[in-house]
Amino acid sequence: MRQFLKFMFASMLGTFLIGIVLLFLFIGSLAALGSSFASKGKRTTVKANSVLHLSLDGEIQDRGGNEPFDFDLGPFQAQSPTGLNTILECLENAKTDDHVKLVFLDLGNTRTGFATLREIRKKLLEFKEASGKPIVAFSDSYTQATYYLATAADEIYLQPKGDLAYTGLQSEYMFLKGLFEKLDIDMQFIRGSNNKFKSFGEVYTEERMSPANREQVRRILNGLWAEHLAAVSAKTGHDADRLNAIADGLLVRNADNAFELGMVDGLLQRDEVLDILREHLALETGKKIQYASLRQYSRSFDRNKGQRGKEKVAIIYAEGSIMTGKSSDGNIGGTSLSETIREAREDSSIKAIVLRVNSPGGSGLASDIIWREVKLAREVKPVVVSMGNVAASGGYYIAAPATRIFAEPTTITGSIGVFGIIPNMQGFFNKKLGITFDGEKTHRYADLMSVNRPLRDDERRIIQQWIDEFYQGFTERVAEGRNMSLAQVDSVGQGRVWTGTDALAIGLVDELGGLEDAVKAAAEMADLDDYRRVELPRQTDFLEQIMKDLNSEMRTWAAAQFLGEDAKLLLQFKRAQEATRETGIMARMPFDLIIE
């Protein structure tokens, strides 16, 4: 039996290893093919009488991947998230593409922020007005986010047994004070002396929202809801009072309610919606519809069509939390981004820079390193910031020296404030694990940042002084960049977050608009008529991108399989880990705003 088991496991291991080798050979072949595909500049062909199929089901980031084709590896999809840049470029090209007759907005579990949704919706409306081509929206179930996007369509259809969420917005936070108390861990949270709105650490030290945090969150939610109301009102004809009554009374409880209240144009199965598409295309019932997916269509045209000049506008993407060192998956590395900005500054063919910021901030040191490069770039060429879903704290810090700042009305920005978190784990080690610590030191403050004991009063005062000095420097940076007094900056600072609309009113941004508006403004400021757009930093090669995407998908899949809804708790621990592993002072948004 032992011999049998030995051979059986050896056989299994051999089969597994062969499978892994074949997988990597397969990926390598695809990489070679992809590189060949890209190098030869081949493009896909869009057939006449086609439908641009915008299947928005999943995450939308500012910048999409560069893989030349899609493929399926079972539960692990080696696909980058859909890029806002790709969506905008495809809709722009489709306006004048005679092969594209309509847009099918096929909505699923779209995950992104309100500012991104607004940019897409605005582009859909522009497409419809400029081309006269129809947009048809369909979903099995609409979230409030996807319904907001669907209001740009001429026709909105819902599955007869589906749902349309219309309950108003809410933002909920998980407070971990009780958990840390049970573990005998004291999260020592120190923020700027007057930074009462800088509430990031409150989720670790409190049991509920502070009055200041509640105040700012309520204002943000009201601002976002006002944008939502305007979009739905324009589509349905209901005024704000009626829509608020519908939400407050939970009058949309099923698909029938949604239709009766005029929120959707019809309750149809997917095959019936496809028949509607055929009618628009003048096709007979049952005849095949020619679709062009977003990825396919993006490879069918020249992204710089009509622009042949040698001069360039560089779009530099800064998306994710700001960390020291090199950029990694989902994070902005201070070293990496500053190098990219420096290269764009020193490149004489790049006449203007658009810095696309979508970040809640992070390391104060890394933010200052990036700030320096933005300031130096502004001294030699226009630097225009385009704010995405969030450009707060460190995200605002790096935007402050720009020549001009654009934000969407629904952008979350500001959060001019700083904090530090030093966990005291003495109780946890001593009482829970039976571990004690002892040692020697040459000087009084040699163990200043030790997590194995509580801070002394003098140490807390020193750290408070450091944080207050950094806040003073932060406000000075903003005052210089925005041409404001220190008192003005402090009055809108103190860690408070604002919507883009409010930020415009208080002078933190210059104009309301999206990425395309920022690019146009940058070109005008540089006196460019004929120019090309280049996107930076340069993306990884095809094979490396595949492995990165697979790794990310595997982590996400594993978390979903083993944790389910508890993945939210994992996210909280991840945020705590990010906050505690960074050295120095943190310039980060006071919370993770998840609106449902």
Tens digits of residue pLDDT in 40-66: 456 789 999 999 999 999 999 999 876
Q: What is the pLDDT of residue 441?
A: 95
Q: What is the pLDDT of residue 72?
A: 44
The Cβ of residue 560 has, within 10 Å, a number of other Cβ atoms equal to 12
Sheet of 361-363, strand order: 186-191, 419-424, 586-588, 361-363, 321-323, 331-333
The Cβ of residue 271 has, within 10 Å, a number of other Cβ atoms equal to 8
Q: What is the pLDDT of residue 37?
A: 46
Tell me which residue of 105, 114, 116 sits closest to 81, measured CA to CA.
116
Two tokens at 209?
């929202």
Which residues, 6 or more positions from 501, have their beta carbon under 8 angstroms from its beta carbon?
223, 409, 512
Give the residue ranges of the chain where pLDDT is below 70: 1-42, 66-80, 306, 540-584, 588-596
Which residues, 6 or more positions from 339, have their beta carbon under 8 angstroms from its beta carbon?
none
Question: Residues 304-344: pLDDT tens digits?
Answer: 776 777 899 999 999 999 999 999 878 999 999 999 999 99
Which residues, 6 or more positions from 471, have their beta carbon under 8 angstroms from its beta carbon?
192, 193, 195, 417, 418, 493
- Distance separating alpha carbons of residues 124 and 92, to the nearest angstrom: 9
Question: Residues 200-223: pLDDT tens digits?
Answer: 899 999 999 999 999 999 999 999
Which residues, 6 or more positions from 42, have their beta carbon under 8 angstroms from its beta carbon?
none
Q: What is the pLDDT of residue 15?
A: 53
Q: For the chain, which domains are there?
A: 50-171+213-298 (3.90.226.10), 312-422+432-438+455-588 (3.90.226.10)
3-class DSSP state for residue 478?
helix
Q: What is the pLDDT of residue 8?
A: 46
Report whether 304 contacts 522 (CB < 8 A): no
Report whether 61 contacts 269 (CB < 8 A): no
Mean pLDDT of the chain: 87
Two tokens at 17?
């290893």
Active site residue ranges: 198, 393
Q: What is the pLDDT of residue 430?
A: 96
Q: What is the pLDDT of residue 309?
A: 76
Q: What is the pLDDT of residue 78?
A: 44
Angle ∠(293,296,297) on CA atoms, nearest 5: 80
Q: 405: which strand partners?
A: 385
Q: What is the pLDDT of residue 81?
A: 82
Report whether 44 contacts 23 (CB < 8 A): no
Two tokens at 180?
């840390």
The Cβ of residue 555 has, within 10 Å, a number of other Cβ atoms equal to 11
Place of tokens 């928005």: 56
- Distance separating alpha carbons of residues 509 and 502, to the nearest angstrom: 9
- Distance separating alpha carbons of residues 507 and 483, to the nearest angstrom: 9
The Cβ of residue 248 has, within 10 Å, a number of other Cβ atoms equal to 10
